[in-house]
Amino acid sequence: MTKRGYYIWINGFPGVGKLTVATELQRLLPGSLLIDNHQLIDVVKLPRDHPQYNTQRERVRQEAFRKWVHPDGDEESSCGSRDERLGRIVIFTDFLTSNKLGTAWSTEHKVAAEKAGRPFLPIYLVCSKEENLARVASPERTQRGSEKLCDVDMVGRFLDKLAIYRFPGRGVEVDVTELAPGEAAGRIVEAINDDQL
């Protein structure tokens, strides 16, 4: 049986540095696959208040799970064989809160990992409110070209009123307030190594 690659799920508020850290993590884990949450969000062209918006988000997410996390069938594809895809570490980034929808969508990640027999490691990226808001307003973020949230006031309200989803008793928190992205990624690699002991 093919050794199953880890499923690393990085959850954090907008601007905390999920993609930056995940990119460094992918560099430290050769052959791993990074799926940023905006790869799954930006393809949904409906307005967020459209009645079918969440249904479309669900469809795109399930397609990503079938393609990369628990590929169906043994056929070869442009993404490699089923065994190759199951052996590859996958890294997902997300911003999901502890509300009803966030809890349900977070749980889907864990269920997808379990369906594939993959070890599931949630990572919670956090930083100080001041640093988080500075990152939201940074030119690097505002000029990226994706639909990343760059509204400082809105993110400030999120930070004041919401909590990111955390799996009870499972996961690793990494405070990136004063950590360089490579250092944060290194801590995640340490958590993977510790998890395997």
Instruction: Find the CATH number of the domain harbouring 159.
Output: 3.40.50.300
Which structural domain range is residue 143 located in? 7-195
Mean pLDDT to the nearest integer, 29-42: 91
Neighbouring C-beta atoms of residue 67, cutoff 10 Å:
15
Is 86 a member of any domain? yes
Q: What is the DSSP string of 112-147?
A: HHHHHT--EEEEEEE--HHHHHHHHT-HHHHTS-S-
Is 1 a member of any domain? no
> What is the rounded CA–CA span in Å between residue 188 and residue 93?
13
CA angle, 15 then 6 then 108, to 5°? 65
Question: What is the structure's pLDDT at 41?
Answer: 83
More confident residue, 145 or 38: 38
Residue 192 has pLDDT above 50, yes or no: yes
Task: DSSP letter for 174, please.
Answer: E
> What is the rounded CA–CA span in Å between residue 174 and residue 127?
8
Is 54 a member of any domain? yes
Mean pLDDT to the nearest integer, 80-105: 92
Residue 152 has pLDDT above 60, yes or no: yes
Mean pLDDT to the nearest integer, 146-157: 81
Q: Which residues pair with 102 in a beta bridge?
A: none
Name the band, by pLDDT with cuts 50, 70 and 90, for residue 166. very high
Is 166 a member of any domain? yes
Residue 145 has pLDDT above 60, yes or no: no
Domains in the chain: how many in total?
A: 1
Mean pLDDT to the nearest integer, 147-162: 87
**Please, what is the angle between helix 53-64 and helix 100-116, to 10°?**
20
Structure tokens at 21: 């850290």
Question: What is the structure's pLDDT at 197?
Answer: 46
In the chain, alpha helices (H)? 18-28, 37-41, 53-64, 82-87, 100-116, 129-136, 139-142, 152-161, 181-195
pTM of this prediction?
Answer: 0.90
> Of 35-39, 107-111, 150-154, which has the strongest mean pLDDT?
107-111
